[in-house]
Structure 1
Amino acid sequence: MAFTMKNLNARDESDAAGEEAPRKEVGAVVHAVTILRYLAKANVPDGVTMIARATGISPSTTFNILRTLTHLQLLNFDAESKTYRLGIGLAEIFAGLIGMSPTELVQPELDRVSAWTSALTVLWRRVGDEMVVVGRGAINSTVRIETEMGTRIPVYAGAIGRCVAAAKRLNATELKHSYGQLTWENPPTWKEYQAQVRLAAEEGWAMDDSQTYQGVTAVASAIVDANGEPQFGMSAIMLTSRHKPDVLRKIGEDVRRSCERIAGVLYPTSQPSNQG
């Protein structure tokens, strides 16, 4: 079995962890990051009006933030075209990230998801016909699922397998063949599996609820490259019934957003994994 249950018996914890406690955000910082992210994705210089329209931030606020970011050399301003683009100051900030492996870059996200879900959050890498565990989030829950680095599962197995199948756009014949090769403890019917893969394509995340492994629920999303090929994936793996359906959906959406951000860093021109 790829996953095992571990009980540390250190302290009592709720069996149904919610989202991390809300924190008060600083509006100006949120707006500044939103603008930086927009310009990074746009990959072309833009003016105040276009940036304000695209980000939903008021023109006056946009102008003031752009002027401040320019003064800090995080943006460059072209006086002739009245447009802004990313500046050399960002390179100074992110110099420490250059040369990091994908696992090192993703580790903070793995830790973050594990912290608020009390789930084992793992990073998968697609290697041939298998998905291999190459990263794990830190988790403090006393009763939890564990797996070893290097653990391998068939590429279409579990929640992450449904996401991979969706991203690869397998036709019905290919998908049914792959389904027939999988091992389940509580197998879904072929029609159920096909519907779950279709839903993963629509929503960008998938769930395996005690089907591959009895008593284990996994929520996952794929990380695709610039060609839409799934290269990595992230799963939040937990004891079945630990979370209610509405929380599982929030976890799925959070994992999807996380994978989209990671894809944007690893493969700057990649598309979201739910585009099908």
Structure 2
Amino acid sequence: MTAEIQENTTETPLLPVLDSRQYAFFFDVDGTLAEIRSEPDAVTIPAEVRDHLQTLFAASSGALALVSGRPVEQLDQLVSPLELPAAGVHGAEMRDGSGTLHRVTLPANVAQEVQQTLEAGMAALPGTLLETKGMAFALHYRQAMLHQQQVLALAESVVAKFPELVLQPGKCVLEIKPRGKDKGAAIYTFMQQTPFSGRIPVFVGDDLTDEKGFEVVNAMQGISVKVGEGSSLAQYRVKTVRDVYRWIEALQRHTLTFKKESEL
């Protein structure tokens, strides 16, 4: 069960204003830092939000990471000119705090056969979209809800044939990804590394793909926040992406105030 946080109708932040020196911040992207769009390429993060993230990143000594189903390259484009630590493709790609990129790959023959199978299957379902991520595949049906069951059957047939792959449901999307890679494992890995280790983890997400992250953060006595409706393991809840923006703004304002006071 999640604890409902009252709607923000004033300048009061929805969540506690945290001391950035003690916390490690993890943010999902689509549905959390950016509004969900029917076309993944249409997603943007406002410039002022990127500025606030930059302030929070500096104040936390770099203990801020993006944890997303998107590839790291796309995450960089969304937060440009920032280059943050990031777990892309649910942790199949990870750029650590030192800037080193680690990537899981599929055998070339497996990747090729999966892609060919999915391309043929999705082409027969008008309105659906196949997004290829190298070692993972996203089957979008937001614009073709009547094909939801056919997309599911296609994805399940692929996963059944290749045991190294698993199926991850999301909001109007099914993702096929390497087994053992999820947002919880990614956050756990970050928390063993500098500059995240020794801090209290905070994770904000909106989708089924984020539940593994909430589970890990809860086990670490951290703060888990669900954006939007639906049952969740998260301890707290906000209603909209804009509420997340307000909270990040409050965090960076607190950071700037602390800096000014510390300079006295």
TM-score when normalising by structure 1: 0.24
Higher relative contact order (CA 8 A, sep 6+): 2
Larger Rg: 1
TM-score when normalising by structure 2: 0.25
